[in-house]
């Protein structure tokens, strides 16, 4: 049985402030310009553009939302680092850090998902590395090793988990808040990826996987594996 603890009510993530403001200003200028030049000639078209602009702005706001939810906290569980859909469950040979077999679980985040990334376990940050790369679509298997990405390894109870934030075709900015030597708490913020991507977990070979392919998961809530 795992424990859940209540957190804050819904809010907007700090990474969204500038983007939301810039989007609002651009849309405001665009709509005012159209209204000035088209005037009363194209009222229906202007109204449609106003509605679409407002919808786009609401979407940008929703992208940076942090919903109110109860987070999973259990030392025996590895929880999902993000919202999305499980797209990979397989055994791989890790070439970056472990150099041995690991169990990989990958979660794809669509632009509609919450995009904050969370620590799957309590532990110490023992590895933190940014890798420049390509911007293949996030569901492409090659994106794990060829796309721009940021990898961190968390160590707990003598075991290590690699969390890999991977950029996608739309995601052009990965933010990571951790540093080597830092002690982190399960389900607290690890970082943020803007506009659609994926997160890979490389787990110990003896970890018990608790999710299925194509299962929808919630960051900080859904148990991914048990050890």
Query: Mind telling me the catalytic residues?
Result: 197
213 and 91 Cβ atoms separated by less than 8 Å: no
Whole-number Cα distances in Å, 163 to 36, 114, 190, 223:
50, 17, 9, 15
Q: Cα-atom radius of gyration of the chain, to the nearest Å?
A: 20
Beta strand 84-93 with 101-109 is antiparallel
Element (DSSP H or E) covering residue 78: strand 77-79
Helix axes of 17-38 and 43-63: crossing angle, nearest 10 degrees: 180
């Amino acid at each position: 049985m795992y424990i859940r603890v209540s957190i804050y009510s819904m809010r907007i993530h700090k990474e969204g402030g500038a983007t939301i403001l810039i989007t609002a200003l651009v849309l405001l200028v665009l709509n005012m310009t159209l209204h000035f030049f088209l005037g009363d000639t194209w009222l229906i078209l202007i109204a449609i553009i106003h509605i679409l602009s407002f919808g786009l702005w609401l979407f940008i706001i929703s992208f940076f939302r942090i919903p109110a939810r109860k987070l999973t906290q259990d030392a025996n569980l590895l929880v999902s680092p993000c919202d999305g859909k499980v797209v990979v469950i397989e055994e791989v040979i890790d070439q970056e850090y472990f150099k041995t077999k690991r169990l990989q679980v990958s979660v794809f985040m669509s632009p509609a998902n919450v995009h904050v990334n969370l620590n799957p376990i309590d532990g110490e940050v023992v590895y933190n590395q940014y890798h420049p790369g390509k911007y293949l679509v996030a569901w492409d298997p090659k994106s794990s090793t060829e796309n721009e990405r940021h990898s961190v390894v968390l160590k707990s109870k003598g075991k290590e988990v690699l969390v890999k934030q991977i950029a996608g075709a739309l995601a052009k900015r990965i933010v990571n808040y951790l540093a080597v030597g830092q002690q982190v708490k399960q389900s607290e913020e690890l970082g943020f990826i803007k506009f659609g991507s994926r997160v890979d977990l490389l787990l110990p070979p003896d970890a018990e996987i608790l999710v299925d392919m194509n299962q929808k998961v919630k960051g900080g809530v859904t148990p991914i594996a048990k050890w």
